[in-house]
Structure 1
Amino acid sequence: MATRLRKTRKLRGSRTHGWGQVGQHRASGHKGGLGVSGQLKHHFSSMLRDNPDHFGHDSTRPPHSNDAKRWAAVRDLGDLYERHGREEGGRRIVDLRAAGYDKLLGGGSPGGAYAVIVDRFTPSAAKKVSDAGGEIVGQDDAGAQEIRVEGDG
């Protein structure tokens, strides 16, 4: 490779190699940063000219709810009873509404008969709780009316 014919060989000793004052063509310091840096500071006027909608929100986008949903599984009823449960008339009652849970899911097995108060529940959760001799008061996945699912016990 004939490196002796390249422009760099001719520019040896010239300090800036044709890039003007010392410091130009070095990183990005002379232009105020890389990319979109300084949009609210020293590049503000450029931002207003080139991309005036860069900051702010899009008002046509509908707002979304940030309400976090909490679920509990059937396997957790024992622990939830110890923390949030009460006993009335010989029945163990777990009030998931008061504990902040929105829905009872059907994972696991209940490990006892519980009367569960919850806003929503799955069909498998209702079957498992009723098979264990408990009951659920709330709305099922499809229904809008409040229903009561009771077991054998």
Structure 2
Amino acid sequence: MDLTRRKTKKFRGSMTHGRGKKAGRGAGLRGGRGNAGLHKHKYMHMLKYMPDHFGVHGFRRHKSLVKKDRIINVGQLEEKFPGKKEIDLTKEGFDKLLGGGKINTAIKIKVKNASDRAVEKIKEIGGEVKIELKH
């Protein structure tokens, strides 16, 4: 391993490093700092190396157009519909049945969509789930 360092000879005594008196001041040498000039003198560079830099990309649908499913959990069925043996959740305004909570009574349920866990829980206690096909 060489412990002696090689002496640097480059521009040691020069204050301007070959740029003259005023040329090396500021960021004028490189056309501005950072992203300066991307719409002007660095436009071709921007088009080639970062074409997606400007503008908005993609879109998001308006909230009024996005339909969210109204959901209900298995554990909420007995408290929302006490004493009922058959429930049409579609008529009640629900779109999907999920498997959260516990249920103790066997119920026949008609719904647009249901999770596997919800169907399993209702069938375990002797109930039935009829899933309507979406058109």
TM-score (norm. length: structure 1): 0.44
Q: Relative contact order, CA 8 A, sep 6+: which one is greater?
A: 2
Structure with the bigger percentage of strand: 1
TM-score (norm. length: structure 2): 0.47
Structure with the bigger percentage of helix: 1
